[in-house]
Amino acid sequence: MRDPYTVLGVAPDATEEEIKAAYRRLARRYHPDHFASDPQAAREAEAKMKEINEAYDILTRKGGSAGNGQATFAEIRQKINNGLFADAELQLDRMPAAARTAEWHYLKSIVLMRRGWQNDAMREVETACMMDPNNPEYARAREMLRNRFAGFGNAYGQSRSTRYDRGGYTQTGGCSSCDVCTGLICADCCCESIGFDLIRCI
Amino acid sequence: MFGYVKPVPEELLVKEHAFYRALYCGICRAMQKHTGRLSSLALTYDSVFYALVRLMLTGDSCTARRFHCAVHPCRCRQCVEETPTLVFTARAFAVLAYGRVRDEQADRRGLIRIPLFFAARVLRRAARRANLPQLAERMQEELAALAALEKACCSSIDLVADCSGRMLGEFFAAELEGEGREIAYDIGFHLGRFVAAADAAEDYEKDKKNGNYNPYLYIGNGAFEEGERHAAYAALGGELLSLEEAILRLPHDRYPGAGNIIKNILYLGLRDRIAFLEPQERREEPVL
């Protein structure tokens, strides 16, 4: 989703009055009734109107809910459940540092995960767990993220750990008695070639 | 990705391993012919993964022949004959190798700069002969973005990894079309992200000692201890899961041999690269 301030065409420091005025102006311009004769234009106007409504919603709610974090978190969860991740992230990023509770970090991790940013998602969920160690939801999410990779490639790699241990092909890594004899014989040959003798009997 | 993307040869069938080596020889020969003899010295095994992915998508058929070459004068080698895919691989890797050497030149200090200077001269010519201006430009852009992040001491590994992800994505997808392009881009993207992050984790100690930039230095208190290693392991594993998803979209039935080598690289080769981060209690020794 685009930045709501750009959608409404107002400056980021616009007052509530200015936002309202901009919203009214745009709503009048893109009202579907104006495009009754042209269905193509009507569809475009409808899409535009939806975007304007969303932007207005975000901007007007932001001012009113800054003090009441809980309500906004519920809304963000709703957005995440509905698949509006970009929107949810925008709202999260707009929250002041003071309102960034454990739940904020948890929700942020969901949004980051969705984007494929797993490193940062891990860090956010770790932070959430650190800030609120007793919350089962965060702990569960952390466990899930940590263990997602556990069974990776087992279907393929299984053969690797079992292929050799049944068929009698074992390699101990040290040297066998055979290796020792061979080594001694070689050493003896080398010595004899320069006129000494290592082992008398061979 | 330099020397990072390799299979575990013990787990390949003999014919698959032979094919893998023949492909490497084929790319090396293509590089000698199309980008200059000396440039082929900069070739790494990663190029074979690249060639395998693109072979599966383009469906080129490969024929092997025995060749003599200067590096192995005593024995003939099986070598895949030139196909358009191999030539493109050779050209793309000449560009990548030049980017790498420029990057090293910017980072390294001391006597190493003398050989780097000559390598850069050779590879600059090779990259020019490769004649892939768009890819070269994209690579420069991403490397510049990476340098800016390094300068700002960025602490988000994902932001840093995204640069090399986008770069490799473009390299994998170049000159492909349709669905194949998307698959190749995704493979390149996730591979690039994985390699960047895994490389940073591996070089943590070295970078800390030498005072080089490493994103893990700026996380938490910069110690990169047990908890953070665990998190990094899980995140890198997640990246491999995304890579797996993209790789499974390849047309595996068309090239079963190549598909198996790719799976070997993904499930064993790449997993082994991050085994050093694995939490101790879960680490299992393979029975061999």
Q: What angle do CA A82, A84, A88 make, to 5 degrees?
A: 115
Please check whether residue B286 lies inside any domain of the structure: no
CA distances to A23, A25, A30, A39, B37 from A42, rounded to whole Å, are 19, 18, 9, 5, 63
Query: Is B46 a member of any domain?
Result: yes
Q: Determine the 3-state secondary structure of B79 from DSSP.
A: strand
Q: What are the tens digits of pLDDT across the range A22-60?
A: 888 887 777 767 777 777 777 787 778 888 877 777 777
pLDDT at A180: 80
Q: Which chain B residue has the Cα nearest residue A142?
A: B231
A153, closest residue in chain B (CA to CA): B267
Task: Check if the interface score ipTM surpasses 0.85.
Answer: no
CB atoms within 10 A of CB B262: 24
Residue B283 falls within a domain, yes or no? no
Residue B3 lies in a domain: no
3-state secondary structure B162-194: HHHHHHHHHHHHCCCCHHHHHHHHHHHHHHHHH
Confidence of residue A164 (pLDDT cuts 50, 70, 90): very low
Q: Is the pLDDT of residue A196 over 90?
A: no
Q: Residue B283: which of A155, A150, A166 has the closest Cα?
A: A150
Structure token digits, residue B134: 């768009």
The minimal CB distance from A161 to the residues B161, B238, B287 is found for: B287
Predicted confidence at residue A158, as pLDDT, reads 54
- Among A121, A126, A165, select the one facing B287 at the smallest CB separation: A165
What confidence score (pLDDT) does residue B70 get? Answer: 76
Residue B182 domain-assigned (yes or no): yes
* Mean pLDDT of all residues belonging to chain A: 77
Question: CB-based burial of residue A83 (10 Å sphere; 0-12 exposed, 13-18 middle, 19+ buried)?
Answer: exposed
- All residues of chain A having their beta carbon less than 8 Å from the beta carbon of residue B240 are 149, 152
Cβ pair B234:A149 closer than 8 A: yes
Q: Which of B149, B158, B260, B271 to mutate to test the interface with A (most CBs of A within 10 A)?
A: B158
The answer to the question of residue B280 being in a domain is no
B283 close to B271: Cβ distance less than 8 angstroms: no
Q: Transcribe B127-169 into DSSP letters.
A: HHHHT-HHHHHHHHHHHHHHHHHHHTT---HHHHHHHHHHHHH
Residue B34 lies in a domain: yes
Candidates B219, B237, B288; nearest CB to A123: B219
pLDDT digits (tens, 9 = 90+) for A92-150: 888 887 778 888 999 999 999 888 888 889 888 888 988 888 989 999 998 888 888 87
Question: Which pLDDT belongs to residue A61?
Answer: 64
Q: Within a domain: residue B288? A: no
The two three-digit tokens of residue B240, written as one number: 């491999």
Domain that holds residue B96: 9-271
The pLDDT assigned to A162 comes to: 43
Q: Do A152 and B263 touch (CB under 8 A)?
A: no
* Domains: count for chain B: 1
Q: Average pLDDT per run of 10 along chain B, which is 288 residues long? A: 83 91 93 91 92 91 84 81 93 93 84 90 92 92 91 89 94 92 95 94 88 84 79 90 93 85 91 85 56
